[in-house]
Structure 1
Amino acid sequence: MIQRRLEDTISNALKRSPSVALMGPRQVGKTTLAFSISEAIPSVYLDLEDRLDLEKVRDITLFHAENSDKLIILDEIQRLPEVFAPLRGIIDKERRKGNRAGQFLFLGSASIDLLQQSSESLAGRIAYIELYPVDLHEYAKAEEGRQDAVNTLWLRGGFPESILAETEQDSLDWRKDFIRTYLERDIPQLGPRIPAETLERFWTMLTHNQGTMLNASHLGRNLDVASVTINRYLDLMVDLLLIRRLKPWTRNVGKRLVRSPKIYVRNSGLTHALLNIVAMNDLLGHPVVGGSWEGFVIENLMAVAPSRMTPFYYRTAGGAEVDLVLEFGVNERWAIEIKRSSSPSVSKGFYLSCEDIQATRRYVVYSGQDTFSMSKDVKAISLFDLMEEVKNEGQ
């Protein structure tokens, strides 16, 4: 059992807010967390993929009246977005009675942005939290070690069933089944009717282009569809928390800047499963190794980042680039270069880019364990330690 950091965060949010939405991809551990929380307080759990449970909350007002003394947990909430409309009245009625917090916990497998579109009437009455797959801090703590934890987590990804599988092949088989379930059941239920084979080809193409700038026309030619269709497929995968669309930092710096987003398959284990990468040696010899490591680093940093932080990348038309820009408000901006090498180095373009964006801190994440200065302003640091720096920035 891997202890998840967000359990206390969710419990505290329920003490402040009438409702909390916990979002994350399937099998990431949302239901396990909800059951753990429900052990401490009277609760009722409903899975909206179960037809009987779905019927119970068709009239949410009546269901709440019968369970007003309990925390109502609704799993797979994106199945019933119309439930949000009457909740405003229910929550406001309870507030007038003095019951101001801890009434509803929603679990969903779609993005927070997508859920917010369905729950605009709950402004000021709902807190949103995203649960990432198991990150390096959580896994290293469970394994009581760092370097082996880094490699295992990177290879398998952070879905609990994958990371805890007995063998590499068992882990890969679980991830392939996960992908098949999404393609054949979940996506057809939640999105447009896209043939599973087409979407699998699209997903695999994105893994081959991990960490590169989006070229919808090129992808469209390979799939024999229009670029507008590619963008529709991509929107769906982003909404399902399977793909990250990293936006460029485009403040006016007096230079021509690249403005296309960079695309990452968010979970490294799914990247490797789509490419049939079984073992670490297979990964280290594969062309995707650099992009896979880059995406893995980004997702781990995002897992511990405060909500006020916004991620970008920076690239000029001349090729000067920063792999990751973390912006903590107006005056705090970190430039991060991501290197798989154990002997990292950076180009002149990185230094120029740091000046362009006026970076307040400059890091190079590498595969080693030591922290040391590479120059006056640039520090080489392990992923584990940079996660600690990012987490501390939010405290």
Structure 2
Amino acid sequence: MIKREAENELRYLATQFKAVAVVGPRQSGKTTLVRMVFEGKAYVSLENPDIRRFAMEDPRGFLYNYPNGAILDEIQRVPHLFSYLQQVLDERASKGQFILTGSNNFLLQESISQSLAGRVGYLFLLPLSMNELKYKDEIDFWLYKGGYPVLHQEETETSRFYANYIRTYIERDVRLLKNISDLYAFERFLRLCAGRIGQLLNMSNLAVEVGVDTKTIGAWLAVLETSFILFRLQPFHESYNKRIVKMPKIYFYDTGLACALLGVENQKQLALNPFRGHLFENAVIVELLKRRLNNGKTNNLFFWRDNVGNEIDVLVVMATEKLAIEIKSGQTISNEYFKGIQFWNKITQTGGGLVVYGGELVQRRSNGIQVVPLTELYANLDDLEKIESS
């Protein structure tokens, strides 16, 4: 079994809160992790129709069957259970009573905010990180395969896995979240989003291509976000230059899923694929995000761009400073790699920065900018966390 970096945070939350909610994409390893950490607790899957019916018809009786608490898997399937869970938690003083998992962030947040505020700790679990897999192999293989645990622990064909994942998501999860009548249009919208990785989000343009209005596009984007398919990277607004871009960019939580949506059928097709650079950028940003979430920290990633094209791919905003990161998929270091960071350092009167690229060398330049391969990113994140905690 692959050791998850989030395990320590999960154990800690169970000592601080009466319940812990572990949320993330479907098949990201939530059930495996909580059953391993809390192996002495009863496990209840609310995907089971008989158990779900019991929980819906007699929620109080259902919960009182577990005087020592339990793991309630996919609890978003019975959202009104939270109201009854509140009373059960209030009657008992112990911490870590119930461990809740779900692949639908919206339903969990809505229910928790109404019923369990202050009683539940949150952990976001994304698919496996490169560090968890000790990954040092070809970057294109990682971009194509992604981080879903089943692909790294079993003999599962990647293309078949994602084809079924997409089909299940559209035909089942989307219907649970929102009553979308035209699933064909929604699937087209999903694939168009994959083609816009790393680009500014233009909902009007998407609406025209899909054939719906912008209000529908906004609602569908919310569905993709709350079911952990994609997320918006927000622009940094501090006005070093008043003419800055204020539209977000979109990225996927897993590059393997994005590749499948883009029609990439094997690793070899990535070498000349026009989306390879965007997928590489996506991979770096998600690795940064996984590191934060696995340690129980909030997302502190932004991008910065002005209206004449000066840009920082990722801006890590810490309490006392900001780290500018440029992402380049090429394997040969050139002066072009440093222009964005040098411009940022000039207007902010700061120094340093990090370039993550597709090569193999590690360089520390005299101007304080470091160049690291994606496979060496985590070693530099350790230094970053030392800065943030100092």
TM (norm. structure 1) is: 0.89
- Count of aligned residue pairs for this structure pair: 379
Equivalent residues in 2 for 1:41-56, closer than 5 Å: 41=40, 43-56=41-54
SS, match of residue 83 in structure 2: helix
Which position in structure 2 is the counterpart of 1:374? 365
Given the alignment of the two structures, is residue 304 of structure 1 paired with residue 275 of structure 2, yes or no?
no
Which position in structure 2 is the counterpart of 1:154? 143
Which residue, 127, 139, 142 being the options, matches 1:133? 127
Residues 389, 57 of structure 1: CA spacing in aligned structure 2 closer, same or farther, 3 A cutoff? farther
SS, match of residue 136 in structure 1: coil
Please list every run of 5 or more consecutive structure 2 residues that lacks an aligned counterpart in the other structure: none
How much identity, in percent, do the aligned residues show?
32
Which residue, 312, 327, 337 being the options, matches 2:317? 327
SS, match of residue 139 in structure 1: coil
Which residue, 257, 276, 282 being the options, matches 1:295? 282
* CA displacement 1:21-46 (0-9 Å, x = unmatched): 0001111111111221232x2x1222
Given the alignment of the two structures, is residue 316 of structure 1 paired with residue 306 of structure 2, yes or no?
yes
Residues 354, 123 of structure 1: CA spacing in aligned structure 2 closer, same or farther, 3 A cutoff? farther
- The CA distance in 1 between the partners of 2:200 and 2:217, in whole Å, is 14
Which position in structure 2 is the counterpart of 1:84? 82
Given the alignment of the two structures, is residue 34 of structure 1 paired with residue 34 of structure 2, yes or no?
yes
Greater RCO between the two (CA within 8 Å, min separation 6)?
2
Which residue, 98, 109, 112 being the options, matches 1:116? 109
For 2:122, give the aligned amino acid: Y
- Contact 1:308/1:328 (8 A) holds in 2: no
For 2:159, give the aligned amino acid: L
For 2:274, give the aligned amino acid: P
- The CA distance in 2 between the partners of 1:53 and 1:358, in whole Å, is 61
- The CA distance in 1 between the partners of 2:158 and 2:330, in whole Å, is 26
Given the alignment of the two structures, is residue 246 of structure 1 paired with residue 233 of structure 2, yes or no?
yes
Equivalent residues in 2 for 1:223-242, closer than 5 Å: 223-242=210-229
SS, match of residue 361 in structure 2: coil
SS, match of residue 9 in structure 1: helix
* CA displacement 1:272-305 (0-9 Å, x = unmatched): 1112212222011111001011111111111112
- Contact 1:162/1:171 (8 A) holds in 2: yes
TM (norm. structure 2) is: 0.91
- The CA distance in 1 between the partners of 2:290 and 2:67, in whole Å, is 33
Which position in structure 2 is the counterpart of 1:210? 197
Which position in structure 1 is the counterpart of 2:61? 62
* CA displacement 1:52-94 (0-9 Å, x = unmatched): 111333344333333212x311111222222222333322221
* CA displacement 1:238-263 (0-9 Å, x = unmatched): 11110111100011224211011001
Which residue, 161, 165, 176 being the options, matches 1:178? 165
Residue 164 of structure 1 and its aligned partner are, at CA, apart by 4.3
> Which one is further off, 268-277 or 355-364?
355-364
Residue 218 of structure 1 and its aligned partner are, at CA, apart by 0.9
For 1:72, give the aligned amino acid: A
SS, match of residue 81 in structure 2: helix
- The CA distance in 1 between the partners of 2:382 and 2:82, in whole Å, is 32
Which position in structure 2 is the counterpart of 1:24? 24
Residues 358, 269 of structure 1: CA spacing in aligned structure 2 closer, same or farther, 3 A cutoff? farther
Please list every run of 5 or more consecutive structure 1 residues that lacks an aligned counterpart in the other structure: none
Residue 351 of structure 1 and its aligned partner are, at CA, apart by 1.7
Which position in structure 1 is the counterpart of 2:8? 8
> Which one is further off, 75-84 or 315-324?
75-84
